[in-house]
Structure 1
């Protein structure tokens, strides 16, 4: 790794790390004022806990020796002792992905989760799900080698459609089912308390996502960085348009929250495909994802699960769209771009494998915590706002003379 690549690796690491506070702002603005501290603390708690666990053993678990190994040996090089400079930089970059993946899940249980129980879940889920899945997708595991195993094209997941977004979205759905509906659960009952905070968070996420998508190019001589950057810009911008058009048709108004949500949706969808789509197809993907996810977030009211901040509708659905879109339009291997059904087949197998595994494990962990320690706060605490009950703080302590 030359000095330029090293500098980009460190810069990308900082960009992706900044995304977790971006999630905190985005989610924090979406909840009610009496829950903003609790919501943001779930992201910062993830940042602290998963950062430590990754250094201690998560990085070791994220690479395997055999295709069918579940995960790497967590004690092979405990706490990265004696690792060389490039390994340490790569480990720091990988840590930021683990951190934000866990933080994303928290949006599904806004307004009603105990912080201590969330932290226990976060540590267990990261250990049992994220660290092994990272090994499957990027560290030599079965997903990385699925194409060779089946005699088909390799699975494409450049920056985390399966490992990050489908993974987090499936776990979010499981926790939403475990904790149940909020005391008041109906369309229009819960409005964002701070729309500028939502847009600030979305802007930070878009800023950091250039490190998220293009960061790994430090290991590739920065050869594909131009395509990745253009696609990250174009798909996200297009997704905003797609979301706003659907919102205008459906509800009569294009909203700022819709613009922020559309941006995040576009970022989610382009994540797996950023290095493997021509820019025109990236724009098509963005429009499609923005429009579909604008409709998908309404499913929770029809199906009766309370995904508070639409983690399922944006990250799970958006991640699936971005992952499967490659089966049709990936450069050289997509069904309509020179390939056949092989690319779509491996994309679908990988997506379903991660989705099912993450959902089942999160469901088991969530129920176990709920039945032992309790995961959900009391109804009266939820109604009053959980900031003071759980953290002893208020997001807006206004004094009157």
Structure 2
């Protein structure tokens, strides 16, 4: 057990949780109408709590157990047999459990952005629980847990490279988001602007800071590799922020606050899979391209395909994560077969299983609230609260 590594991963664990609470909650909350902001907070907090318990009760074991190439098994259920002195690499295994738990929290929290303002809260919770066990945990095992797509797996000696979650986190969450946005259908009022751009910017800033733990902690060590991961993460985020804003100005004659911070997230999502392999100049290129690429993906999804992925989860996280995953091979740090093959297999698996889960859960809990609840807002109709008292 290494004290420096342990101390750093403890900090990184807190930073990744900070990404969801309050980072993602504020980022998403500011983008919706004022009558739905508390529903976003409620979903983020509830998912964080539920995933934490479920990660203990089997999720961690499925992802990082010693089962087989497809499934980690239940040998680590409830952390039985693991105590404060049990080591995973150079850190306590209970800390590795906690660090990976924060990833299991933010991944389903990401996809709620696709169907905000119209989704049934009970459906979100039930779907997220099953999805974590049946999609997120198995895919984690395949790539990070020594399973199907790791080194020596189906792609040969050089397995799939995904440093911090371009496939495991961003592709899986984004494809589930896109699928559910289509299944649930569009909002009644699709053109409503964000109710609080300042809140969006604060949330994005917290995500940017938290991402240092997300990527910098994924090496599980306090060393030069972690320092490089943090550096390239920052460079990509900065480049994508500026390229998004510049592309907006070229197209529309002005750059928006919501636009530049969305570019920040695009740059962060794009560098995530590559952050342990590339250098600063490669990160600069990834971020610069991501700001334009993801912005055009927003146009494609919203305007041409007419899909109401409300907060652009697929265009930003999905396109960004997929782009960054392939850039690993383009820059010569991985195999084209392993990178592309994993994207295809994980994508097909995610879509198929997510569809089945959604259909099964919908038999018990409706996907969508009724028209009156949607009109009045989910804050009041679902949770009996308002974010703002207009009479005070």
Q: TM-score normalized by structure 1?
A: 0.92
Task: Report whether the alignment pairs 1:385 with 2:377.
Answer: yes
1:121-166 Cα distance to aligned partner (Å, 9 max, x none): 0101001001111101100111113x65444633210100000000
Q: Which 10-residue stretch deviates more, 220-229 or 270-279?
A: 220-229
Task: Report whether the alignment pairs 1:11 with 2:3.
Answer: no
Task: Report whether the alignment pairs 1:375 with 2:380.
Answer: no
5+ residue gaps, structure 2: 85-91
Q: In structure 1, how many angstroms separate the alpha carbons of the residues matched to 2:339 and 2:129?
A: 28
2:41 matched residue in structure 1: 40
1:173 and 1:359 in contact (8 A); partners too: no
Secondary structure (helix, strand or coil) at the match of 1:83 reads coil
1:370 and 1:376 in contact (8 A); partners too: no
1:94 matched residue in structure 2: 100
Corresponding residue to 1:121 among 118, 123, 127: 127
Task: Report whether the alignment pairs 1:204 with 2:169.
Answer: no
Q: In structure 2, how many angstroms separate the alpha carbons of the residues matched to 1:180 and 1:59?
A: 33
CA deviation after TM superposition for structure 1 residue 379, in Å: 1.5
1:291-331 Cα distance to aligned partner (Å, 9 max, x none): 11011111222112110100010011111110011111144
Q: In structure 1, how many angstroms separate the alpha carbons of the residues matched to 2:277 and 2:68?
A: 24
Instruction: Report matched runs for 1:54-133 at 5 Å.
Output: 54-65=55-66, 68=69, 70-74=70-74, 76-85=75-84, 86-133=92-139
CA deviation after TM superposition for structure 1 residue 81, in Å: 2.5
Corresponding residue to 2:348 among 351, 356, 363: 356
5+ residue gaps, structure 1: 334-342
CA deviation after TM superposition for structure 1 residue 370, in Å: 2.8
Q: In structure 1, how many angstroms separate the alpha carbons of the residues matched to 2:342 and 2:108?
A: 20
2:170 matched residue in structure 1: 165
CA deviation after TM superposition for structure 1 residue 280, in Å: 0.3
Q: In structure 2, how many angstroms separate the alpha carbons of the residues matched to 1:66 and 1:114?
A: 36
CA deviation after TM superposition for structure 1 residue 252, in Å: 1.9
Task: Report whether the alignment pairs 1:344 with 2:350.
Answer: no
Q: In structure 2, how many angstroms separate the alpha carbons of the residues matched to 1:153 and 1:59?
A: 25
Instruction: List structure 1 segments (4+ residues) > 6 angstroms apart after TM superposition.
Output: none
1:217 and 1:223 in contact (8 A); partners too: no
CA deviation after TM superposition for structure 1 residue 64, in Å: 4.7
Secondary structure (helix, strand or coil) at the match of 2:203 reads helix
Count, aligned residues: 383
1:170 and 1:356 in contact (8 A); partners too: no
CA deviation after TM superposition for structure 1 residue 82, in Å: 3.1
Q: In structure 2, how many angstroms separate the alpha carbons of the residues matched to 1:352 and 1:282?
A: 24
1:295 matched residue in structure 2: 296
Q: In structure 1, how many angstroms separate the alpha carbons of the residues matched to 2:347 and 2:146?
A: 19
Q: In structure 1, how many angstroms separate the alpha carbons of the residues matched to 2:332 and 2:204?
A: 27
Q: In structure 1, how many angstroms separate the alpha carbons of the residues matched to 2:373 and 2:156?
A: 55
CA deviation after TM superposition for structure 1 residue 223, in Å: 4.0
Q: In structure 1, how many angstroms separate the alpha carbons of the residues matched to 2:42 and 2:369?
A: 16
Q: In structure 1, how many angstroms separate the alpha carbons of the residues matched to 2:203 and 2:68?
A: 38
